[in-house]
Chains A and B, each alone.
Chain A
Amino acid sequence: MTDFEDKLLDILSKVLLLEKDKITDDLRRKDFEPWDSMNHLIIVSEIENEFEIFFEDEEVVDMWTVGDIKNVLGSKFSS
């Protein structure tokens, strides 16, 4: 696991109260009750602070799964 992924999992694990190894790419916001809008807000801002980036409103809305977050995050660093 990359350092980058580990930091992301650390945030998700602390906010969603899931062990890191239980967090899969297909974990979906709509299907997982603790991932409510308040927690989504916290996840997004913690990622922004940790990686010193910022997300557009559309990007925040379109983060439906853990995989989506990784993709958006990846695009921030490749561009």
Chain B
Amino acid sequence: MNESVEEILKPVREDPSYLNLWSAYKRIQGLDLPDTDDKDALRLAVIGSSTLEPLAACLDIKLRLEGFTPTTFVGGFNTYRQESMDTNSPLHKAEPDVIILAVDAWSVLDQMFLSTFARTSEKDRQDLQKQLVKDVASVAQILEKKTSALILLNNFILPVFSPLGIVDNKQKTGLKRFFEGANNQLAETFSDSNRVFVVDLDSVAGEFGKSRITNWNTWYRGSVPFSEEFTPFLADAYLRYVRALKAKTKKCIVLDLDNTLWGGIIGEDGIEGIKLGNAAPGIEYVDFQRSLLSLYNRGVILAVCSKNNYDDAVKVFQEHPFQILKEEHFAAMRINWQNKATNIAELAKEINIGLDSIVFFDDNPVERSIVSQAHPEVLVVDLPKNPRLYRETLESLDVFDVLSLTKEDMARGEMYAGKRKRAELETSMDSIEDFLRTLEMKVRIKPVDDFDTPRVVQLIGKTNQFNLTTRRYTDAEVQKFREEDNSIVYSMAVTDKFGDEGVVGVAIVKKKDNDWWIDSMLMSCRVIGRSVETALLAKIVKDAKTDGASRIIGEYIPTKKNPPAAQVYENHGFGMPAQADENGSTWILNLETDTIDVPEWIELTED
């Protein structure tokens, strides 16, 4: 990072007050830094109906504190509509990656809206509500169409005051329900959009305290919508989206055990002595574990790093009646007397994630400081001494956000736990075939349906290792292959006794003359070494024979990362003709003489 920038940020790191944030923003703007194109660069635009420079300033500096390099554009006062529609406007010229659209409902509604609300008919209220949503949503839709930015649209703050007083909710569309309904409509309008995200400003304001979100002095003097205290707080809400967009979110929580997952020390207090129960003492630990489990169930990986005797600790997982998290919830465990910094490095390697995606929970400040010194990229949580605050600490971290959740993402925890158990089983088996046989694998291979297509596109886009041709196709191209008569897109889902991996394999076949060409064949690294690629090839062979094809032709195009797939065709009896060079090789299976069978340890379904 630019040294002078780091110097400017120093006082903000010590005290992130509004004044310090503003001062740093002004200083950095004065540096007139050149545009950068590195991966942490981010072009930000903040537009809306009021004076938004302070909000933009706080967000700009907070982004810098997290290592991003923002270039920040602030729209003119209440000119967001024109700026959005005119593709020659400064907003469009700034080519933003992220646009914050902050429109105050009161700037759109008639000036007499509140005064006349009590006497406004139900029908008029509903019409006004629809109009409000349309006015604001239409701007976001224009931006969605005319830019490539991620659009963060504020919803409306439900007012605290209603002229109808305590009977506000006795009316079908009372004042609060007017805004609540508008917010529901906004959320619904964009629920399917992968570019427009409705930011729950109402809820952020409620969390902060609605009576303190506006400084009426600056509001009336300069139309600054948010107070000095609330503005930095609100900036944090937008940061969550940027982290998710830039894949800077955390994926894995590494947990200590004694005095973290339960009260007391298992090695000294014993299983009856530790604090863990559905009532005091120990209910706060159960609650903390329940919250961890809620994150696990949406795809956050859990792991254990504890100084303990392995058998003592595991006994709690297996036998304690109130223990919520079981062995199966942990992708990996390090229960030993080794240095925790070393253990965490090993965990990261075993789970195959970066240290920068790890969050570490430990009640012991000494362990925390050892880990944060050895691995500054790990988020070491400053856990309060009071265990009743553990849960709140976890729930206010806000570092696990993703912009979309696939079924496979949600089940990530099970997959890692399954991987750990498979590895244990594999080392205990004499031969690989014995191991595969005990897995009880079920493989479903079929032309991909609408439901699995997003996952197939995701795999085509990101699979590097077991990928024979590494051809990347867009959603539209995959749809085209699905529709055309002379091509088939296969999806392969794998389940075994340790868990459901979901869709992990893809093959794209193109028919030419009497040949079936395997244009693409790829598999998630999660299932490498389980012979499921044989099942996929066997299915293609079977369908090709039914279709009357005489040969199957496969290509291998080498890349830096795909040596794990180099032997696939050779191992399955394909013969290589003369042409083979550094650009790849072509392999042929003659269907009149050769075939490929599904391995006996795999049960194939073809619905």
- Which A residues fall within an 8 A CB radius of B? 11, 14-15, 17, 34, 37-39, 41-42, 44-46, 48-49, 54-55, 57, 60
Which among B23, B53, B54 is the interface contact of A17 at CB below 8 angstroms?
Answer: B23
- B144 contacts partner chain A, Cβ-Cβ < 8 Å: no
Kindly list 11 other residue pairs between chains A and B, CB separation below 8 angstroms, not including A34-B26, A38-B51, A45-B228: A14-B22, A15-B19, A38-B53, A42-B19, A46-B19, A46-B228, A48-B217, A54-B217, A55-B217, A57-B221, A60-B221
Q: Is the CB of B22 within 8 A of A42?
A: yes
CB distance from A79 to the nearest CB of B (A): 19
Chain A residues lying within 8 Å of B222, measured Cβ to Cβ, are 37-38, 41
Contacting residue for B221 out of A11, A15, A17, A41, CB 8 A = A41
A41 near B218 with CB under 8 A, answer yes
B30 touches A49 (CB 8 A): no
B contact residues around A14 at 8 Å (CB): 19-20, 22-23
Q: Which of B446-494 contact A (CB under 8 A)?
A: none
Which chain B residue lies CB-closest to A60? Answer: B221
- Chain A residues with CB under 8 Å of B228's CB are 45-46, 49
Asked if A45 contacts B217 (CB within 8 A), the reply is: yes
Interface residue SS majority, chain A? helix
Q: A11, A34, A48: which contacts B19 (Cβ < 8 A)?
A: A11
Contact B19 A41 (CB under 8 A): no
Chain A residues lying within 8 Å of B51, measured Cβ to Cβ, are 38
B181 to chain A, nearest CB (A): 35
* B224, A41: Cβ atoms closer than 8 Å: yes
Q: Could you list some 6 contacts between A and B, CB below 8 A?
A: A17-B30, A34-B26, A41-B218, A45-B217, A48-B217, A49-B228
- Distance of A14 Cα from B22 Cα, bound (Å): 8
Which of B26, B30, B51 has the most chain A CB within a 10 Å cutoff? B26
Q: In the assembled complex, how far is the CB of residue A56 from the closest CB belonging to chain B, in whole angstroms?
A: 10
The 5 closest A-B pairs by CB, nearest first: A14-B23, A41-B222, A45-B218, A14-B19, A46-B19
Minimal beta-carbon separation of B496 from chain A (angstroms): 61
Which residues between 1 and 37 of chain B lie within 8 Å of chain A, taking CB atoms?
A: 18-20, 22-23, 26-27, 30
B141 within 8 Å of A (CB atoms): no
CB of B215 closer than 8 Å to a CB of A: yes
Contact bitstring B213-228, A, C-beta under 8 A = 1, else 0: 0010110011010001
Checking A15, A38, A57 against B23 with a beta-carbon cut-off of 8 angstroms, the contacting residue is: A15
User: Do B54 and A42 have beta carbons less than 8 Å apart?
Assistant: yes
Known contacts A41-B221, A44-B221, A48-B217; is-contact A17 B26 (Cβ 8 Å): yes
List CB contacts (< 8 Å) of B25-71 with chain A.
26-27, 30, 51, 53-54
Minimum CB–CB distance from B2 to chain A (whole Å) comes to: 17
Complex CA distance for A9 and B224, rounded to whole angstroms: 24
Residue of A nearest to B30 (CB): A17
Tell me which of B26, B30, B215 contacts A45 (CB under 8 A).
Answer: B215
Kindly state the separation between the CA atoms of A38 and B51 in the bound complex, as whole angstroms: 9
Chain B residues with Cβ under 8 A from A39's Cβ? 26
B20 partner residues in chain A, CB cutoff 8 A: 14
Task: Point out the residues of chain A lying under 8 angstroms from B19, CB to CB.
Answer: 11, 14-15, 42, 46
Provide the bound-state CA to CA distance between A54 and B30, in Å: 30
Residues on A with beta carbons closer than 8 Å to the beta carbon of B54: 42
Residues of A within 8 A of B22 (CB): 14-15, 42
A67 CB to closest chain B CB (Å) equals: 22
Q: Separation in Å of the A63 CB from the closest CB of chain B?
A: 12
Which of B26, B53, B217, B218 meets A15, CB within 8 Å?
B26
B479 to chain A, nearest CB (A): 50
Contacts of A54 in B (CB 8 A): 217
Q: Nearest Cβ in chain B — how far from A70, in angstroms?
A: 19
Q: Could you tell me the distance between the alpha carbons of A39 and B23 in the complex, rounded to whole angstroms?
A: 10
Closest A residue to B222 by beta carbon equals: A41
Cβ of B224 and Cβ of A17 under 8 Å apart? no
B23 proximity list for chain A (CB < 8 A) = 14-15, 17
Cβ of B225 to closest chain A Cβ, rounded Å: 13
Max chain B CB contacts within 10 Å: which of A45, A48, A54? A45
> Smallest Cβ distance from B329 to chain A, in angstroms?
47
Which A residue sits closest to B23, measured CB to CB?
A14
Q: How far is the CA of A54 from the CA of B218 in the complex (A)?
A: 11
A34: B residues at CB distance < 8 A: 26
CA distance A39 to B224 in the complex (A): 12
CB distance from B462 to the nearest CB of A (A): 44
From A17, A45, A46, A55, give the contact of B27 (CB < 8 A).
Answer: A17
Q: How far is the CA of A42 from the CA of B218 in the complex (A)?
A: 8
Min Cβ gap A73→B in Å is: 15
Q: Which residue of A lies closest to B215 (CB)?
A: A45
- Closest beta carbon of chain A to B296's beta carbon, Å: 43
B11 nearest in chain A by CB position: A14
CA distance A54 to B220 in the complex (A): 13
Closest CB of chain A to B199's CB: distance in Å? 24
Task: Give the distance to chain B from A33, nearest Cβ to Cβ, in Å.
Answer: 11
Task: For the complex, give the distance between the alpha carbons of A23 and B324 in Å.
Answer: 62
Residue of B nearest to A49 (CB): B228
Chain B CB within 10 A, most for which of A17, A42, A44, A54: A42
A34 and chain B: residue at smallest CB distance: B26
- Inter-chain CA distance A55–B222, complex, in Å, is 14
In the complex, how many angstroms separate the beta carbon of B241 from the nearest chain A beta carbon?
26
A60 to B228, CA, bound (A): 18
Q: Give bound CA distance, A78 to B218, whole Å.
A: 25
User: Distance in Å from the Cβ of B7 to the closest Cβ of chain A?
Assistant: 13
